[in-house]
Structures are given as C-alpha cells and as structure tokens.
Amino acid sequence: MAVSVRLPTVLRPQAGGASSVDAAGGTVGEVLGDIVNRFPTMTDHLLDDEGGARRFVNIYVNDEDIRFLDQLDTGVTDGDEVSILPAVAGG
C-alpha cells in the first residue's frame, strides 16, 4: 500500500529535499517505519526511545489528527495522505 507523506521543512534535507515521499504500510506506524528505514536520520526527529511518535510531532491522516484516532495504529489505504508537522511553541 502506498501513501503520500508530506514532510515539514526541517525534515526535507534528510529526504534529499523532497517535500513529500511515498511510503508503504497499512498503519501510520508502519508508514513511519518505512520512512525511517529509508531515511534513518529521521528516526530521532519522529520516534521516541520506545518507538512511539515524539510528543512534539503532530501526525495527520487526511487532515485527521491521529491522537484522536488510533494513534500509530491508525489505518491507511492507497492514496491517503499522511502529514507530519512539528509542534510550534513560543509566545
């Protein structure tokens, strides 16, 4: 299954400058696994020590926040779009 993954500006250099990449998987977790296997330098930016998504990384499937779905177990199908957005803090 191929889904399109939109990358934030901060991760694009690790993907050769691409703003999006295609990834395989049936869940968001599998898609992230495919990405970090292909682009290992993204691992520390996306995943914590237990293999979960980092707290400051927001992930959406077709504009739906996975925190309100099944988190990394959220299913994806061909043609879905996964967006990765770093949290922004400041005042």
pLDDT, residue 27, reads 97
pLDDT, residue 43, reads 93
User: In this prediction, what percent of the chain has a pLDDT beyond 70?
Assistant: 96
Residue spans per domain, the chain = 2-86
- Report how far residue 61's alpha carbon sits from residue 38's, in angstroms, rounded to the nearest whole number: 20
First to last CA, the chain: 41
Single pTM value for the model: 0.91
| pLDDT tens sequence across 32-81 | 999 999 999 999 999 999 988 898 999 999 999 999 999 999 999 999 99
pLDDT, residue 51, reads 87
Q: Which CATH architecture has domain 2-86?
A: Roll (3.10)
Task: Number of helices (H) and strands (E) in the chain: give both, helices first.
Answer: 2, 5
Looking at every residue in the chain, the average pLDDT score rounds to 93
